[in-house]
Structure 1
């Protein structure tokens, strides 16, 4: 079907969950214990202010604030923060605590909240700073029971107490809806027949524009079509806002792509949720016809036949239930990268900026580490001659310990990478299969849903063991693992596109991969021309990690693995809470 519409966006292969729609929304609840006491004759009157950063931007912007709670050092704030959650983004958060004092006349000791930032006082409420905490949204949801407890800091030499941040996924984000529509007495558009109608659904955006979110099939040669039932996530249909306008356009399909506009109508999720009733029979109106013909009523009607809501298990249900994501990195040490001592090398260690390998590793690793409780990551290399005997290896530990290749955090992986560059000789060829099989051995031993494995391969070149790599990927596609390949440098990466399997499902020796588990991207596509490496890394991570939650869910669902129940809500210890003197 050729989709060239005269007055609408292209509606070829629609991804209803395009990048502008969050994976889900989470509700953040904040509590504090043992805050500093700033008031002379009573306890502090705390408020919490949440700041966020835009992707690739270091500027903090106020997102919102809680209510003020009078006279307490142990507030449980009632007002929640509702945040869009993206697994593939590092969503930095800053939580500032203040003691609100609107009676003080001595302004020099205070700050003031004004214009979404903390300023020197002018008007509004006066504040004493009580401390702050930094974290990521991933860190909160990745913590046991999605509950993160951190010490407050920011005042040198003082213990500022503790902040407790809890995340709860909002229910309307996990809903999908199954709907079916029929048409009645639609306008006849074809000269030799009737019409070939289909529907196109759009959700409205906050700026007044519309984004396509679903397209039905074409029903041939009828003015009274009955379209097949279809399923769509509620967040794709209306971004979780039940009253947001949903626009539906009706078209007559033409072979040459110049589909004829029959008419349109608007509704909302709340209206549709009434189900089959007189409220859900819609007049299809063509505004042009209505403007020209006084007796024009409509171009037919469209009726909702059924509306069924389904609650789906989500990625966050598994994370909350304790599933760990294990991250392994494998780095290409083949000679085609160039001599690491030369600035032209892809492995060159400049004192001024990270090389492409380090940027890719840091971009992906710093997001995934939030979902791994011990923060110990295996780091492997391939394609180098190793000391002392110069043997070529395609699966060696960067820390030099094959029995225990784990590094402490992403910083530990970076350090091991830098040390390896000083001790090995870059060689070749470029073989992926050994490192894929290495991670697959671990994944094969844990199939109960408690762990999922992500392998990041960073490479500069053309793969030399293609047949063995395809076989390794096909074997791994039945295991709880995903593979991310980042290509660095100027090489042609045609072979990697085949491994990605987005267009054609990967096969080996007549066996097809059970799932698409590979995501390949060339790093050069993400380099910011202005030299903003923070933005380059954020864009890279967003793209390569975007498929992980769906790959994760496809494994769990095909195996019938349900999320473990979340741990019981935290109950504080029985001993009395100490207050600060």
Structure 2
């Protein structure tokens, strides 16, 4: 029985996706595990990661959908990170799972060892016995690549998340020269009696009385909204070689956990083998629930339709465009800013395709439009925060067409220069966001750029400062340059050209300037989701960004790449990421604490 509907009325929310208006789909959660992977490491086992690819409707192009976490030193990984897919019964939804042995921090998959792949359809997984499919992997001639196990479970509509914290007491000592390095693994039970991993805590080193960090998990991941479904928790002693020692286990349920810190939530950790062999065996220690707090997650529709506060949340978008010289001379067809009479340039295509969707969620449709990295007339002053319409007191443009017009006019008057500084435009939006603290407004900064950030330290500090404000940052990359943030040794003397269309000739000003040229074939072929470490560092999905020892309060940055020759068909991917940011906003959400009596 799904109990969440007794608290949240989902009739008008959740059945319709405004970002992908089509027949409502069933959402399924995909869990991946593997057996007997190839061992590519000499002195240890492989460190596998699984990458899921899907095919677009009407074409055969494989697109990366997502990646699991990396699990170190194992040939039999049980991945915790899930893939959430829309399941359409009437469509053939092809899936490809690629496995890699991760050898470095690079997100470029070509830098890692390929372990094999498997192909299937989503319907094949859902239709398998118990919605569990196991098949051999292929891809390396002459070698057995092991098996992949894919499980699917329909997701409930429950929108609750729970924050929990646990501690251990007098756990078994497993290390000969020390104590134990304990961690917990959480499993939810399935209808067929099996268990699916849903969370791992961190390892607490050298202690028998660990206090694990509090963690947040969706209730649907923990029990799929069924408060009485069994939750199994196993305790292990961490070992460097991956052969973690089993300490013991216990079971509970969401309903029991919801009682909070009490005598009901002190659990004996039992090792069944020890219990069967030793008559005087009591337990292998205890685990206690320290805290339990429930949040009702607020969705994007809640924000814009009035679910938060009395009048809803007004979404305010600001656009910032890169006018640095690395984009190329706008008078040349090779420039990303080239104004062809026959087609839009890369910036215009990205701006129009994303902006036309953005404007639907901004009620007044007046957008501040900024530029950075250019010399401005009449004195050639370099600016990293100038109004595209030439009016710094009122940088607003009417609709996305107004932004496009202001962008074209700026190209005719400014001189592309540098460097590529993000922090001024981030601080610009942050000043407005700081003036709102009642949840009535949310600010989104869309930065369109060709790549390398020059003020990384200042940008990180600006992001950390803004992480407590009602704002998010979307970075869309155009052109072939890889987002690596590195200054290469290639020094050249460039001609920064200011093209004035109000004169019959071109004014050219020459400056000596060192910047980056990155046009290798490998980088041109970089996939949409493959960024290098510098840009990934801003996108805090994996590691929370920090500056001067202070961490961002939440992840407010999403990064998306658009190829230099892009089409509007690819840009809904960018908006999908924007939607995920807005749908996951925690700033304006109202926390609802459910008492035990309400369960």
Provide the TM-score with structure 1 as the length reference: 0.52
Distance 1:283 1:430, change over 3 A: closer
Residue 251 of structure 1 aligns to a residue whose secondary structure is strand
Matched, 1:232 2:232: no
Give distance in 1, aligned partners of 2:580 and 2:539. Answer: 14
**Does residue 242 of structure 1 match 2:242?**
no
1:169-568 paired onto structure 2 within 5 Å: 173-178=159-164, 180=166, 182=168, 189-191=174-176, 196-203=181-188, 210-215=196-201, 217-218=203-204, 220=206, 222=208, 230-235=214-219, 236-264=221-249, 266-273=251-258, 284=270, 300=283, 305-306=288-289, 309-312=292-295, 315=298, 320=306, 321=309, 322-340=312-330, 342-348=332-338, 355-358=345-348, 360-361=350-351, 365=355, 369=359, 371-384=361-374, 393-418=383-408, 420-421=410-411, 424-464=414-454, 480-489=470-479, 490-491=481-482, 492-494=484-486, 502=543, 505-507=546-548, 515=553, 519=557, 521=559, 523=561, 534=569, 536-543=570-577, 546=580, 553=587
Q: d(CA) in 2 for partners of 1:273 and 1:516?
A: 26
Distance in 2 (alpha carbons) for counterparts of 1:239 and 1:410: 41
State the SS of the aligned residue for 2:162.
strand
Listed one character per residue, the Cα deviations across residues 489-527 of structure 1 (whole Å, up to 9, x for unaligned) are: 3153256567668566224xxx96775676363626xx5
**Higher RCO (CA 8 Å, separation ≥ 6 residues):** 1
Q: Does 1:28 align with 2:11?
A: yes
Alignment deviations for residues 326-346 of structure 1 (CA, whole Å, 9 cap, x no partner): 210110122321234544322
Question: How many Å separate the matches in 1 of 2:416 and 2:244?
Answer: 58
Instruction: Kindly name which structure, 1 or 2, has the bigger radius of gyration based on alpha carbons.
Output: 1
Which range moves more in the overlay, 540-549 or 252-261?
A: 540-549
CA contact (8 A) 2:248 2:284 kept: no
Aligned mates of 1:232, 1:440 — CA distance in 2? 27
RMSD: 5.4
Kindly indicate whether the alpha-carbon contact (under 8 Å) linking 1:179 and 1:306 is maintained by their aligned counterparts in 2: yes
Cα distance in 2 for residues equivalent to 1:432 and 1:63: 39
The whole-number CA distance in structure 2 between the counterparts of 1:189 and 1:179 is: 23
Contact 2:460-2:545 within 8 A present in 1 as well: no
| Aligned-pair CA distance for 1:550 | 6.7
Superposed CA offset, 1:93-150 (max 9, x none)? xxxxxxxxxxxxxxxxxxxxx9869xxxxxxxxxxxxxxxxxxxxxxxxxxxxxxxxx
Aligned positions of 1:1-40 closer than 5 A? 27-29=10-12
2:106 is matched with which residue? none
Deviation at 1:406, TM superposition (A): 2.0
Q: 1:447: how far off?
A: 4.5
8 Å CA contact 2:468, 2:554 repeated in 1: no
How far, CA to CA, are the matches of 1:280 and 1:298 in structure 2? 18
Pair 50,481 (structure 1): closer, same or farther in 2 beyond 3 Å: closer
1:40-97: CA deviation from partner (whole Å, max 9, x where unpaired): xxxxxxxxx9776997xx8x43449xxxxxxxxxxxxxxxxx999xxxxxxxxxxxxx
How far did residue 234 of structure 1 move? 4.3
Per-residue CA deviations over 1:253-311 (Å, capped at 9, x if unaligned) read 3355432234545543235446767898577466xx69xx8999999467664476434
Work out whether residues 336 and 346 of structure 2, in 8 Å CA contact, stay in contact via their aligned partners in 1. Answer: yes
Question: 3-state DSSP class of the match of 2:363?
Answer: coil
Aligned-pair distance for 1:377?
1.2
